[in-house]
């Protein structure tokens, strides 16, 4: 995949966005090796195969879109979300997400973006707990951009070595 990204720098934006989109979804995000892939993409940025702003933008847009979908699912189902797969299979993840919101309020969206174990669940919990949509989207935009920049930046540092 990395060789393909290096050979197709423009089309790779869709792949980068798809990777981070899937990472934000509760079903797929649990098993997605996103950190390793983003480090590899960051290394390609450092070596001049990809434009940094383009790569960060694609990663942030994918993460934001995935979070927005998860938020919408949580908002649509509300507390009944617990009874649906995969949430009934991972009740501790929802509990962790709720605990994060109880302790940190809206900052839970930012914190959750950086904690892999709850990242795919926090947006759904935010929707389930009826966080205001505009507030969620505003906070999540900041979280997605900062997370994408830091994730690719780590790979950029690796690529310089």
26 versus 123: the higher-pLDDT residue is 123
Q: Which has the closest alpha carbon to 122: 62, 61, 80, 81?
A: 81
Distances (CA, A) of 114 to 10, 38, 79, 95, 119: 27, 14, 24, 17, 7
Question: What confidence score (pLDDT) does residue 110 get?
Answer: 93
117 versus 68: the higher-pLDDT residue is 68
Q: Are 9 and 41 in contact (CB under 8 A)?
A: no
Tens-place pLDDT, residues 129-154: 999 999 999 999 999 999 999 999 98
Per this entry, what is the length of the chain?
Answer: 161
pTM of the model: 0.88
Q: Is residue 1 scored above 70 in pLDDT?
A: no
Q: Which has the closest alpha carbon to 119: 109, 104, 106?
A: 109
């Amino acid at each position: 995949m990395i060789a393909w990204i290096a050979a197709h720098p423009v089309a790779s934006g869709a792949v980068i966005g798809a990777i981070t989109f899937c990472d934000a979804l509760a079903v797929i995000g649990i098993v997605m090796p996103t950190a390793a892939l983003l480090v590899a993409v960051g290394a390609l940025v450092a070596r001049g195969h990809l434009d940094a702003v383009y790569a960060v933008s694609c990663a942030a847009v994918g993460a934001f879109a995935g979070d927005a979908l998860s938020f919408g699912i949580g908002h649509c189902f509300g507390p009944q979300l617990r009874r649906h797969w995969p949430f009934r299979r991972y009740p501790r993840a929802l509990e962790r997400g709720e605990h994060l919101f109880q302790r940190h309020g809206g900052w839970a969206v930012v914190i959750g973006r950086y904690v892999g174990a709850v990242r795919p669940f926090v947006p759904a919990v935010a929707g389930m707990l009826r966080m205001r949509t505009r507030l969620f989207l505003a906070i999540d935009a900041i979280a997605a951009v900062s997370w994408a920049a830091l994730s690719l930046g780590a790979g950029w540092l690796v690529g310089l070595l």
